[in-house]
């Protein structure tokens, strides 16, 4: 059977959150979705990989990597001031005093990036159904 629209939407919402926790699990899930074929075994693997990711504490590097991917949506439309702010926040980023996430949320709302408005990393709703 094929990947359903709901599965694609769920992964779209979770992908940057998963990436922020574990690049390895993120890459494994991407592989599951390749070819657009789905079955119960893939569904089980998908749920387990999400859980594994959420069991992993994000690091400074994994968070910055996910944030850089999110920034990619804004790099061509952000003002020069927003670019400077992004660079400053990235350079001084610390997971314990995360000012970059609120900034990216602000840009998402300002520029109404529909894809990112549904992102669990930016606007958390749930971790997983498993």
Q: How far is CA 52 from the centre of its chain?
A: 15
Q: Which residue has the tokens 């991917």?
A: 69
2: left (phi over 0), alpha (psi -120 to 50) or beta: beta
What pLDDT tens digit does each residue of the chain (130 aa) get?
Answer: 888 889 999 999 999 999 999 999 999 999 999 988 899 999 999 999 999 999 999 999 999 999 999 999 999 999 999 999 999 999 999 999 999 999 999 999 999 999 999 999 999 985 544 4
List helix spans (H) across 1-130: 5-21, 23-33, 40-54, 60-71, 80-91, 100-110, 114-117
46 and 79 Cβ atoms separated by less than 8 Å:
no
DSSP class per residue in 30-61:
HHHHGGGB--HHHHHHHHHHHHHHHTSPPPHH
What pLDDT score was predicted for residue 127? 52
What pLDDT score was predicted for residue 126? 55
Domain residue spans in the chain? 5-54, 60-117
What pLDDT score was predicted for residue 119? 97
Q: Whole-prediction pTM value?
A: 0.91
Q: What is the dihedral of CA 32, 37, 42, 46, to 10 degrees?
A: 50
């Amino acid at each position: 059977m094929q990947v359903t629209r709901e599965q694609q939407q769920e992964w779209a919402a979770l992908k940057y959150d998963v990436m922020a926790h574990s690049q390895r699990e993120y890459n494994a899930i991407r592989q599951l979705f390749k070819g657009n074929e789905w079955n119960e075994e893939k569904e089980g693997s998908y749920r387990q990989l999400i859980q594994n990711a959420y069991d992993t504490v994000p690091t400074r590097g994994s968070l910055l990597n996910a944030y850089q991917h999110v920034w990619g949506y804004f790099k061509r439309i952000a003002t020069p001031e927003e670019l400077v702010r992004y660079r400053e926040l990235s350079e001084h980023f610390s997971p314990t005093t995360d000012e970059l996430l609120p900034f990216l949320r602000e840009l998402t709302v300002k520029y109404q990036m529909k894809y990112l408005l549904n992102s669990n990393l930016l606007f958390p709703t749930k971790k997983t159904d498993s």
